[in-house]
Copies of this chain bind each other. A is one copy, B any other.
Amino acid sequence: MDLSLDPNLGGGSLLIAWQLKDKNVLIVGGGEVASQRVESILVTDARITVLSPEKGLSLRTKRFLELYPDRIVHYDRPFTGSNELENMDMVLTAIDDNNLSLEIVGMCRKAKIPVNAADIPDLCDFYFGAQIRDGPLQIMISTNGQGPRLSALIKQKVQGSLTGFEGEALRKVGELRQLLKVYEPGVGGAAGRKRMKWMTQLCNQWEMEEFASMDADMMKRIMEDGWMQGRCPTFEEVGGKSSRRTLAGGPQTISSWSKNLLIPSLSFVAGLVVAGLISIPRRR
């Protein structure tokens, strides 16, 4: 256990996944930044209220209002006062009026409603960051305001490290875990530990692509030929076609294949050729 005193331990944020299912989120403003806020909140299952005069709506905000009329309510007027905050669970301001922003932040603080004001970072309860999403997988990259451009570059790198199968794999593993609970019911305790140990073994053994390609039949075989026998079956044992991995491979799979095999192979051939060239003059 390495808990040595870390002088850099402070100074950061608490990165969390806020739950907004069936909650009310107020977005004050309708411009470009407001459209980013709408997009962030659409990821959750919150009810969105956009408060902005029609003329202040960006093309992007307008498009969201058209596409998701059942999820976003738009009022064609500016912010009128603390009555707007009634029943709100979160407030995001994205307006040009710095004083009004300050005022809204003050009202939210008083009403204990989490608030983010795009133009007053110092007073925000929370910040946004660069986001990656693939189904149940969500990744946030925060640079604590230090470098918006580098943040985008880091996001590209992180995105490049994913195979593209993660979201589907998570979804399928979620299903398998549900099935496992049918075969081995019980909450916590010995049953829970036994299930967890087996799932960990399986996760260490199988590839992301393999999990992603599981179907109902394979899951049943994993349970029957694996769990019931007290072991972790291989992907092939339960009917998985390993060729699938290359055929269905995303761009990352192909590129890492080329790095791992293609370049060394070419180098090997180059070695053969060079050696051949060297030996030709000798033979003469």
Most chain B beta-carbon neighbours within 10 Å: one of A20, A141, A204: A141
Within 8 A of B (CB), among A40-62: 40-46, 59-60
Please determine whether B171 and A138 come into contact, CB atoms closer than 8 angstroms: no
Which one, A5-13, A77-85, A99-107, A228-236, is touching chain B?
Answer: A5-13
Assess the B19–A17 pair: CB atoms within 8 A: no
Cβ–Cβ contact B143 & A142, under 8 A: no
Is B127 a contact partner of A139 (Cβ separation < 8 A)? no
Are the C-beta atoms of A166 and B154 separated by less than 8 Å?
yes
Q: Determine whether A255 belongs to the interface, using a CB cutoff of 8 Å to chain B.
A: no
Q: Which residues of B contact A64 (CB under 8 A)?
A: 3
Quote the shortest CB–CB distance from A254 to chain B (angstroms): 16
| A200 on the B face (CB < 8 A) | yes
Residue of B nearest to A174 (CB): B146
Please give me the residue from chain B that is nearest to A138 by CB atom: B142
A216 within 8 A of B: no
With contact pairs A16-B16, A162-B157 given, residues A5 and B211 touching in the complex (Cβ less than 8 Å): no
Which residues A189-215 have CB closer than 8 A to chain B?
199-200, 203-204, 208, 211
Residues of B within 8 A of A141 (CB): 137-139
Tell me, yes or no, whether A140 is within 8 Å of chain B by CB.
Answer: yes
- Total identical chains: 2
Decide: A171 near B199, CB < 8 A? Known: A166-B154, A268-B268.
no
B161 touches A143 (CB 8 A): no
Contacts of A227 in B (CB 8 A): none
The residue from B142, B199, B274 contacting A149, defined by CB atoms under 8 A apart? B199
Cβ proximity bits A130-141 to B, threshold 8 Å, 1 near / 0 not = 010101111111
| Interface check A120, CB cutoff 8 A | no
Is there an interface contact between A60 and B161, defined as CB atoms closer than 8 Å?
A: no
Residue A153, interface by CB 8 Å: yes
Choose the segment among A218-226, A238-246, A258-266 that binds chain B (4+ C-beta atoms closer than 8 Å). A258-266
Partner of A12, one of B44, B114, B147, B169: B44
Across-interface contacts of A263 in B (CB, < 8 A): 263-264, 267
Does any Cβ of B come within 8 Å of A247's Cβ?
Answer: no
A208 to B154, CA, bound (A): 9
Q: Which residue from B46, B171, B274 sits with its C-beta under 8 Å from A146?
A: B171
With A158-B161, A171-B146 known to touch, is A15 a contact of B138 (CB < 8 Å)? yes
Sampled A-B contacts (21; CB under 8 Å): A3-B63, A9-B43, A10-B44, A12-B44, A13-B18, A13-B19, A14-B40, A14-B41, A18-B126, A19-B125, A137-B143, A137-B146, A138-B143, A138-B144, A139-B140, A147-B169, A158-B162, A264-B264, A268-B268, A268-B274, A270-B271
